[in-house]
Each structure stands twice: as C-alpha cells, then as structure tokens.
Structure 1
Amino acid sequence: MSKEAFSRAQSYITEKAGEMAVFSDYLAAHPELSEEEYETSRMMADKLREAGFAVEYPYIGLPTAFIGKKISPDGESSGRPVVAVMVEYDALPEIGHACGHNLHGTMALYAGMAIGEAMGDLVGELRVVGTPAEETDGAKIRMADEGVFDDVDFAIMFHSFAGESFADYRSLGIDGLDFTFTGQTSHSAASPWRGRSAQSGMLLFIDALNMLRIHMHDYCRLAAYITEVKGAVNIIPDRAVCRVEARAPEQSIQRELTAAVLECARGAAIATRTEVSWKNFEGSFAPMLPNLTAEKLAEETMVEYGVICTKGHPATGSTDVGNVSYRCPAIQPEFAITPRSLDLHTREFAAATTAEEGHEALVKGARVIADICLKVFTDDDLRKKIKAEFEAAKR
C-alpha cells in the first residue's frame, strides 16, 4: 500500500473524529424512516460535494439515494480498479436508529471521504453509494438490478453490532408476500351454505405454513400475520389478507421454500372454495454470497486495529447487501459498537450509538474500512484473487 495514501486517509479521520461523532448523534436525534431520509441524504450528499466528489443526487430515480465519485488524477477510470463504499441511513418506526444506521452510515461516509483524500496517490475510481430503505424495500436491490455495481471490483460496508465483531457475515434471503383470499358473503345463520369464507381460506393457509415449518431446511424462517379481515360476526367474510416472510440461507433453498408457501396458499384456497392472489410487498433480499478472500482481508485488517473477531456465525438476519454480492465481490462485516451483549432493534442498542463507546467504535471502524479499501486499490494480486473467487461462487 502507498504510505502516502494511507497517511492521508488516516490523518483525515483523525482530523474529523469529533465531527463524525456530532454527525452521527445528529442523525440519532433526527431519525428518518425508510424512503423518507430527505434531510439525512441531503446532508450526506453535501458532505461529499464539499470533499470534492462528483455527486448525483437524487440517484436512479430514488429521491433519497445518491452516489459520489472520485477518479484518480490520471483521469482514466476504464479498466482501473473500482471500489464502492455503501452507506445506510434509514431508521425504524418508534425506536429510531436501533439498528445503528446513524453510526455505521456515518462511519462509511467518512471512510469514503478519507479514501477520497488519498485518491491523488492511487489509480482507479472510488464510489460512495447512498443506499436508503434497507429496513423495508432495500434500495440496493434496485441498484443491483440496474447494474450500479456490475463494474465494481469490491464493495464494502460495516454493520453495527454488539458484543462481538466478525467478518464472515452470512444472511438469509427474504421473499415478502401479501396474500389476499377472496370468497362470497352470505348471512352466517340464514344461508351459510351460500357463502365462501375468505377468513377460512386464510386460516387454513396459516395452519399449512405451521405444518410446513417442520420440513424446512436449517436456518429457514417463516413469519405470518393477519392484516385484514372484512365482515361482521353475522356475515361470512369475502376478503382476508395476511403477510408472509419466507427466509432461507441459500438462493436454491429460498426458491424451494417460497414455492412451497405458494402451494400452501393454492391448496387452502381449493379446500375452502375461495380464490387467492399474492404480490410482493418488498423487494426480495438475496442471501449473502460469501467471498472468503475478502473476508480474510477484512478480518486481518480488523485485528491490526485491535478488534477481536469471532467466527462461524450462522445466517440469521437479512440485508440487501446480499443482492449486491451477486453483482460484485461484496462484504458486510459486523462491527461491535459496544462490548455489551445487546440485541439490535432495541432502544438500548439505539442508546449505545450515542455513547462514548459508540463514538470510539465509529472512528475505529472508519479507519478499518479506509485501510481495507486502500489495500484493494493497491494490490493487483489481491483484487484478482477476490474476483476469481466471486466468479467461481456465482457459477
């Protein structure tokens, strides 16, 4: 790695450490929900412009997405390394930044700007990509589908975690579907034989899902809840809606599980003489495609900064970074912002992002991300090995 590039990037983070904490805390105090991150995204895009990035905002038709680019002074990016740093910043209803997006979003943003300071000593192109709505529809899904990452050699973000850090993050894919059962109203006492209960179809469907659970692969998950039933106690309901999330650790298992869910819906409708339709209520999240070479690089770099890494974690949560990982080599290490064992999506975790320990992790994480990216930029053999593993994994 270029010593000059490393020095420039790390000096920038040292200089901006206090500013980073203030920025992250401001986002914590002013959380914005998925697809409503107007002030947050504007502030981040402005930061990138001030740092000399060419910024497109809004981006690909998403009002709260952005991309900032810096190309090395040779002025030529074609055929040169392209590295992307992904930034998240949406919050959760009621409990704000209880997933830590304020902290690791700031971490990624400032790591990107630090790398930008070093581009004069590098060859290639840096992209800082603002990716809204991770908690709902997953903007990275659309970005991946539209080819935003197709020419990227390496993409990275850290995600806030608690109690431990690890580079070998695995995720579950998700298919999120709304099922609508339609029947025929009738008086439930005077002429029940004329009715067809949409509620019965939906309840039988949920019973079928409960039976399906005992046949699922390891780490698969099914969640369902009722969102609507129309009618009254003396009226057989002709409409019932429920929402289902099916999660699996591999794409082939995901397809199999979702197909089984649809069979349960069709069977319930046939058995109750109702009709059923379905539609996605969110984009389908793909499970992470592992890249062991990139993960090894991340873990070794984390250790250099005194971060103890654990290994062997099963897939549990889900992320739209999974969709990116099928378009380019991409990783999402989990980075402890507190030594305490806290659950994500809790008020306690949200509070940890603004504590002193959270501020220290914020700065350290930015340093590590910048260091990892600089190694990728400057090591041709490393990039080739990462890319070869990516291509093999896709096959």
Structure 2
Amino acid sequence: MRPIAELKNLFDEGLAKNRNIAHALNYDLADNPELSGVEYESCRKFVKICREYGMAVEENFAGIPTAFRAQAVRVENPIGRMAILAEYDALPDLGHGCGHSASGSLSLLTALALHEMAEELKVDVDLIGTPDEELHGAKVAMVNEGVFHDYDFAMMIHMNSNTTFPSVRFLALSTFRVKFFGRPTHASATPWEGRNALNGAILAINALDMLRQQVTTDTRISYYIVNGGKASNVIPDFSEIELVLRHSRQEELDAVVERAMNCIKGAALATGTEYEVETLGYPFSDMVLNEPGIDVIRSVMDDLNVPYQEDDGTMLGSSDIGNVSHVCPAFHPMLATSNQYFPLHTQQMVDMMKSGKAKDIIDTGARIIGHTLLTIMAEPETFKKIKEDFQRNTQTQSM
C-alpha cells in the first residue's frame, strides 16, 4: 500500500476531477427541495450519478422507497467495510435550511473520489442514501433491519453556522401523540354532564411543566396542542397533544418517559377522561462518541487547516445517526458554513446552500471524510482502537 500522504494526494486529485458534479447536485437539490420520505427525485439524482460511474446500486434499500446503497469501492480480501451516509431531505416551507443539499453532495463527492482510486484501497466502501432524517429517521429503520452491523464505521458531515466540531453529542428523543377522550355537552346549559377532554390535555401540560423542576438540565420537554375542540360552547369530547421528550442518555430518557406517562395518567384520572398514547416515528438514541476516531478527525482537520472547537459540540437536538452509533462506530462532524452565527433551520442556511461558498464547503467536507477513512485504513492500530472503544462504550451503556 502507498504511504498515506500519497493516498491523500490521489484522493484530492479524484476530488478535483469530480467536484463540479457534486456542486451541481447541491444547487439542484437546493433549488428543488423535497420533504422527508418523499425525496424521490433527489434519490434518483444520486442513483443516476453513481450508475454513470459504474457503481452497483440497490434502490428501495432496506425497504425504504427513497433510500439507496451504492458500492463505491470493492476490493479482494478487504480489511474492513466503511459506510458514507448521505442525507437529502428538506424542511417544510423552508427548503434546505438544515444544509442537507451540501451534506449529501459532499458524501457523494467523497464516494466518487474514492471510487477513482479503488485499486489503491484495502477496504470496501458504500455510499448509503439515508432519507427522512427530519421526520421519522430512516437510519433507525436501517438499524432495525441490521444494515449497520456489517460495517466497521459510518461517517457523514452536517452543516453548522460559524463553528466546526469534530464530533457532536445528540440527545436521545421520543415523540408521542396523546389523545384524551371525554363526553360532549352544552358548555352553558349542562356542563356538569360533560367530561372535558381539553381539561385533560391542559392538566397534563401543567403537570409536565411542573416535572421540568424535577429533572436534570440535559432534559428537554416540549409539546403543542394538536386539537383542543371545535367550539367554545361545547365541552370538547376529544383533545390531542404532541409531546417530545429528550435526554443526553437513553437510559435517563426512559425514566423521564415513565414520569411523563404518569403525568398524563394523573391528568386523565383527575378530569374523568380516558387517554391513549401513540409513539410517533422512531425513537432516536443518544450519540455514542468514539475518541480514537474523533482524534483522527481532529488530526485531519489540523492537516487541512480547518479551525475547530476543541470540545465536543452539544447539539440540543436529536438525529437518527445516534441509533447507528449504537451498532457500529459512527462519526458526525459539524462543518462551519459562515463567519457569523445563525440558527439551523433558517433562511440563512437556505441562502448559504445556494451561494458560491457552498462549493468550498462541499470540497472541504469531502476531504475531511476521505482523509479520515484513508488514515484509519492505513493505520491498523488506530482501526483496532476504534473497534475496542466502540465495544467498551456500548457495553457500558447496556449495563
């Protein structure tokens, strides 16, 4: 195998050769955003490019209509198998306010550059299209299908505003739809004959607000009233709330969920209503960090002169890559797109994805993933440490 410096140079040559394709894809996705779960055209664009490069592609991957898996690199007697993850779903009304157009495009560019130098590699590499991150979390469905048990590590890069993080901590998340059922009656003539479903919902919300005092600072409780009745002069017989619970660790979230369910049960009992709880989407797990792998990413960023914040970023949000990190080592750096801070899921990110600066962002992100993969492949001891750290961390979490 060639020295690592030569491998990185070969990768950079492949990147330069194919960068325009990734740039064009980003602008195409940014101008034609598709929502979670219906990214049909976006998926087809990735698949078309991969097939034009001679990659074998599985569509409808893991039974998900807008997912795919492309074989970027196949070698004889591989020492490992790597997954590069690509997201491409957008946000309602806003478009690519989370930067998935660039994130997915840079993952594609990484795969194309590695494909160009496949004869120099000792690992198999797949590009996996993972749709529906913003809503249901297709990576969780893939985890449940056993997809990532076959990989030695998975990696992608997400956009951020003005700070680059080699790694981030995501919160575990569970989302519920809570329905209260009462008995309708005229609100003025015979209110005593009714059972107010809205009262059940409001009392549950008040109890959840009080619960906030008794949970740790890394807990998040949020909700909204989906249905509060139809008319002010009718005691509502139906009310509905959506509840989102988060915590930095899955086992702690499980305890918060139990306490929240008691709030709901108590509210129904106090108001004489009945209730049902439905789990929405897939629960998202917390992110299992892998320090040996993160050290490689830091070293790569140093070599590429990419400034970053030393400590792990704490994203007070959640992502389905957390579930991946519980079944194989997974890495999710955040890459700065601007010198100015702005929140994600805003017009500023939409505008950034359509700007000329997106080109440099895509190139830099692809180099970070590519150089990280090459370094791990070329350093057997580092590869071993990543696997050992993963086993140690996941065993500790399961105890």
Normalised by the length of structure 1, the TM-score is 0.96
Decide whether the 8 Å contact of 2:72 with 2:112 is kept in 1.
Answer: no
Deviation at 1:330, TM superposition (A): 0.3
Decide whether the 8 Å contact of 1:337 with 1:353 is kept in 2.
Answer: no
Q: Distance in 2 between matches of 1:165 and 1:171?
A: 15
Q: Distance in 1 between matches of 2:200 and 2:12?
A: 60
User: Is 2:154 the partner of 1:152?
Assistant: no
Decide whether the 8 Å contact of 1:83 with 1:377 is kept in 2.
Answer: no
Summarize deviations over 1:276-333 as a string: whole Å, max 9, x none.
1111222111110111111111111011111111033334121110000001000100
Tell me the equivalent position of 1:371: 371
Deviation at 1:70, TM superposition (A): 4.0
Q: Distance in 2 between matches of 1:131 and 1:152?
A: 15
User: Is 2:328 the partner of 1:328?
Assistant: yes
Percent of residue pairs bearing the same amino acid type: 32
Tell me the equivalent position of 1:102: 101
One-letter amino acid of the structure 2 residue matched with residue 293 of structure 1: P
SS in 2 for 1:11: helix
One-letter amino acid of the structure 1 residue matched with residue 53 of structure 2: A
Deviates more, 1:377-386 or 1:64-73: 64-73
Which among 15, 18, 21 is matched to residue 17 of structure 2?
Answer: 15
Tell me the equivalent position of 1:279: 278
Tell me the equivalent position of 1:214: 213
Tell me the equivalent position of 1:40: 42
Tell me the equivalent position of 1:176: 175
One-letter amino acid of the structure 2 residue matched with residue 191 of structure 1: T
Deviation at 1:340, TM superposition (A): 2.0
Count residues in correspondence. 392
Decide whether the 8 Å contact of 1:337 with 1:362 is kept in 2.
Answer: no
Summarize deviations over 1:28-53 as a string: whole Å, max 9, x none.
00000001111110110111122222
Structure 1 residues 381 and 14, CA gap change in structure 2 (3 angstroms): same
Q: Distance in 2 between matches of 1:198 and 1:331?
A: 45
Q: Distance in 2 between matches of 1:104 and 1:215?
A: 38
Q: Distance in 1 between matches of 2:43 and 2:51?
A: 12
Normalised by the length of structure 2, the TM-score is 0.95
One-letter amino acid of the structure 2 residue matched with residue 279 of structure 1: E
Decide whether the 8 Å contact of 2:183 with 2:194 is kept in 1.
Answer: yes
Mapping of residues 296-307 of structure 1, within 5 Å: 296-307=295-306
Q: Distance in 2 between matches of 1:2 and 1:266?
A: 64
**Where in structure 1 are there 5+ consecutive unaligned residues?**
none
Q: Distance in 2 between matches of 1:37 and 1:72?
A: 28
SS in 2 for 1:178: strand
Decide whether the 8 Å contact of 1:231 with 1:238 is kept in 2.
Answer: no
Runs of 4+ in 1 over 6 A off after TM superposition: none
SS in 2 for 1:255: helix
Q: Distance in 2 between matches of 1:106 and 1:137?
A: 21
Structure 1 residues 309 and 37, CA gap change in structure 2 (3 angstroms): same
**Where in structure 2 are there 5+ consecutive unaligned residues?**
none
Q: Distance in 2 between matches of 1:259 and 1:168?
A: 30
Q: Distance in 1 between matches of 2:161 and 2:238?
A: 43
Tell me the equivalent position of 1:134: 133
Deviation at 1:71, TM superposition (A): 4.6
Decide whether the 8 Å contact of 2:69 with 2:128 is kept in 1.
Answer: yes
Mapping of residues 224-235 of structure 1, within 5 Å: 224-235=223-234
Tell me the equivalent position of 2:268: 269
SS in 1 for 2:147: coil
CA RMSD, 1 decimal: 1.4
Deviation at 1:210, TM superposition (A): 0.7
Q: Distance in 1 between matches of 2:9 and 2:155?
A: 21
Q: Distance in 1 between matches of 2:327 and 2:361?
A: 29
